[in-house]
Amino acid sequence: MSEQRGFIIPIGGAEEKLRDQAILRRFAKVAGGKHARIAVIPTASSLRETGRNYARIFEGDLGVREVQVLAYEARADAANDEWFSFLGKASAVFFTGGNQLRLATTIGGTRVTDLIRDRNRDDELHVAGTSAGASFLSEHMIAYGEDGGVPRADKVQLAPGMGLTQLAIIDQHFVQRDRLSRLLSAISYNPRLIGIGLDEDTAAFLDPNDCIEVVGSGAITVVDPSELEASTMDSAHRAAPVTVTNIRLHVLTEGATFDVRTRKAIPPPRR
């Protein structure tokens, strides 16, 4: 068993697929480049062509050796031995966007997610997810939430995710949909976790040492509650605003890093 795990790569959605495919190209490189074997899981999407579109990018544009679309549409599909065999030899998994609850209810708790989690933990598999796929990667997942406004007791609803990391809770389309307040609400329940808010076309490459590197055209907002002094989440009435004090916040652009263990942010090198 390895002492380190594989990469975990949440993407904020709407990543560039035609011109500068920086995020997908970096993911393919981490996965093994031309020798990679990538499993695309489009379960979150209601569009049948979603998985095939990503497969064309990985194989055609990025020259990946082997890509297979594993279209889990019902829990019974987890019994598909051919797909399970490919997962067992894949170097990376890519979860598409859509609805994170479709992922959780379709493959959560099956041998599929068990295998992905075990192989990622043993540094045999790298796992990426975009949009809904990004939210699903962590132990605690934002299932629903309201955009905009201020943190409130009923602002966000959490559900179990896949559990690749227990250190962070992830939100996506962050600036585009004004989601700071719902991420703050989620963190206010229990300040053990950091919050990671991903703009569109922006990814957090979380390496085996739990250090994030930002890749993409937008920014990542990191909410660090390690020095939180007070939260009124326990006493706030439903729909009432919540007080949180002494929250640290970082906005990080491409090339910046954040060490999740030490909570240290480093700006990108000067160009």
- SS3 track for 212-224: EEEEECCEEEEEE
Nearest CA to 147 out of 106, 177, 115 is that of 177
Check 91, 131, 181, 188 and give the catalytic one.
131
- The answer to whether the beta carbons of residues 125 and 92 sit under 8 Å apart is yes
Q: Which of 173, 181, 185, 213 is the catalytic position?
A: 173
User: In sequence order, what E strands does the chain have?
Assistant: 8-11, 37-41, 66-69, 92-95, 126-130, 140-145, 156-160, 168-171, 194-198, 202-206, 211-216, 219-224, 230-231, 244-245, 248-253, 257-259, 264-266
How many residues comprise the chain? 271
Nearest to 199 by CA among 257, 254, 145: 254
DSSP state of 139: S
Annotated active-site residue 200? The verdict is: yes
The gap from C-alpha 39 to its chain's centroid, in whole angstroms, comes to: 16
Tokens of 196: 């990671």
Active-site residue (options: 126, 135, 140, 200)? 200
Q: Does residue 131 carry a catalytic annotation?
A: yes
Cα–Cα distance measured from residue 211 to residue 58, given in angstroms and rounded to the nearest whole number: 26
Q: Which residues are catalytic?
A: 131, 173, 200
